[in-house]
Amino acid sequence: MQFKFKKVKRNKWNRDIKGYLKLKLDQKIKIIELYFQEFSILEISKIMENSYSACYSVIEKYKKFGYNSFAMEKKKGRKSKINLDAQKATNFKINIENKIENKDLLIKQLKEENKILKLENAIAKKVSALVQLKDSLTKKNSK
């Protein structure tokens, strides 16, 4: 189905154009209904006189969350600073505790690795001493 649309020059700052305002619930439902009638997103945006991106975002949210997406609305404005400070403080405490636990674990691992290296070093010294002893014995026997 082909539509002939008038080309309307839209001014980005003109607030009378619906595409730049927040969509209402009935508009969102209408967009979804048109999408199920197999209209393209471009055609839907022309019919509803909304921007392409607004229609696209409504459809994508519907695909992702279903009808629950209509109830999910973000709150506008800045988040309260009190909650952020409390969250930062708890995160800071958790990070300090994790660092302390990590340091203890690291110290334990390093001590174990140090023991292993000392044992390897002692074994290497004994092997080299045995090799030297064997060489000296073979030299004495050959003379």
Domain edges within the chain: 18-70, 113-143
What pLDDT score does 100 carry? 78
More confident residue, 116 or 68: 116
Q: What is the pLDDT of residue 82?
A: 66
CA dist 137 to 37, 99, 124, 131, Å? Answer: 98, 56, 20, 10
Residue 19 has pLDDT above 50, yes or no: no
The mean of the pLDDT values for the chain is: 78
User: Measuring CA to CA, how many Å separate 117 from each of 22, 33, 110, 122, 129?
Assistant: 67, 71, 10, 9, 18
Q: What is the pTM of this model?
A: 0.40
Q: Is the pLDDT of residue 18 over 70?
A: no
What is the third-level CATH fold of 18-70? Arc Repressor Mutant, subunit A (1.10.10)
